[in-house]
Amino acid sequence: EAHHGPTRTSQEAADARGESIRIGGKAIVAKVDKSFRLFVLSAALGLNSRAICRHLGAQRFRFATRDELLELTGLVPGCVPPFGRPILDLDLYVDRSILENDRIAFNAGSLTDSMIMDREDYIRIAEPLEIFEFSR
């Protein structure tokens, strides 16, 4: 666990942790068709919404608004941890990019606190619904 000054971007968080942005786990809440879901990918990459819709057989995709995120998680953008149920009441999907590193770093429910975990421990504890490729 690391305590640091407030970070607003994935790069700022990586710099504060003294780690590569590649091991950062970016947690994104999005509405896919009619349900909100949590997607986790390497902080160095972007999210490919078309790949998500194609894989899940969905028609619509949009990012949660700040107000929706606050209502769903009690958190503001930038501090959502990469965990679905039972921590956050959301289905969790993990991008294959997370498997490319031995560790995952993420903000732990705050813009000033980070955690770094062994990737295998993260996958075992987080229990994602699916792991597939949705980064670009």
pLDDT of residue 5: 84
Model pLDDT, residue 43: 95
Q: Which of 115, 136, 120, 126 is nearest to 24 (CA)?
A: 115
- State residue 36's pLDDT score: 99
Q: Which domains does the chain have, with CATH numbers?
A: 2-132 (3.90.960.10)
CA distances from 41 to 9, 57, 71, 109 (A): 14, 20, 23, 17
Distance CA 25, CA 57 (A): 25
> What does the pLDDT read at residue 8?
79
Q: Tell me, what's the pLDDT at 62?
A: 99
What pLDDT is attached to residue 6? Answer: 83
Run means of pLDDT, 10 residues per run, the chain, 136 residues: 81 86 95 98 97 98 98 93 96 98 92 92 98 98
Model's pTM, two decimal places?
A: 0.94
Q: What is the dihedral of CA 50, 12, 87, 35, to 10 degrees?
A: -20
pLDDT at 73: 96
CA-to-CA distance for 64 and 29, rounded, in angstroms?
Answer: 6
Contacts (Cβ under 8 Å, ≥6 apart) of 119: 98, 99, 101, 102, 103, 104
pLDDT of 108: 85
What pLDDT is stored for residue 2 in this prediction?
Answer: 77
Quick check: 41 and 97 in contact, CB under 8 A?
yes
Q: What share of the chain is helix, strand, coil (3-state, %, to 5)?
A: 30, 30, 40
Mode of pairing for the β-strands spanning 61-63 and 25-32:
antiparallel
